[in-house]
Amino acid sequence: MNSLTIEIMFVGYLLVLIGIFGIIMNRTSLIHMLMSIELMLLAVNIILVTLSVVLDDRMGQILALLVLGVAGAESAIGLAILVAYYRKKGSLSLYSKAFTT
């Protein structure tokens, strides 16, 4: 592994940690949680493709394409759920106004 590979892997790991931090810190906003999950999926793709290049194997790249397909489906379903939730509640906040002071 050369230094560029290590730097790319570090960026991937850092993006996963930012995504986990985003989920933990933004538990009240569904849209922020969905964006954090997408960030983690894309960071895993960066790691998979980097390892695929380092190991000279194409399976990591194929798996990254599959993860992209799953991420696209998850985005579509997640946004549909958000629209339905907004129509029912009138807000995207997970906590209702009765619980806030």
Q: Which domain holds residue 62?
A: 3-89
Domain-embedded: residue 9: yes
Residue 37 belongs to some domain of the structure: yes
Q: Give the model's confidence band at 89: pLDDT under 50 very low, under 70 low, under 90 confident, else very high.
A: confident
Q: The whole model's pTM is what?
A: 0.79
What SS3 class is residue 2? coil
What pLDDT is stored for residue 97 in this prediction?
58
User: Does residue 73 lie in a domain region?
Assistant: yes
CATH label of the domain that carries residue 54: 1.10.287.3510
Q: Is residue 35 part of a domain?
A: yes
Q: What is the pLDDT of residues 5-57, one digit of tens each?
A: 999 999 999 999 999 999 999 887 778 888 899 999 999 999 999 999 999 99
Instruction: Establish if 45 belongs to a structural domain.
Output: yes
The model's pLDDT over 52-82, given as tens digits with 9 standing for 90+, comes to 999 999 999 999 999 999 888 988 998 898 8
Q: How many domains does the chain have?
A: 1
58 part of a folded domain = yes
**Which residues fall within 8 angstroms of residue 25, CB to CB, at 6 or more apart?**
none
DSSP track, 3-68:
HHHHHHHHHHHHHHHHHHHHHHH-TTBHHHHHHHHHHHHHHHHHHHHHHHHHHT-SHHHHHHHHHH
Q: Is residue 57 part of a domain?
A: yes
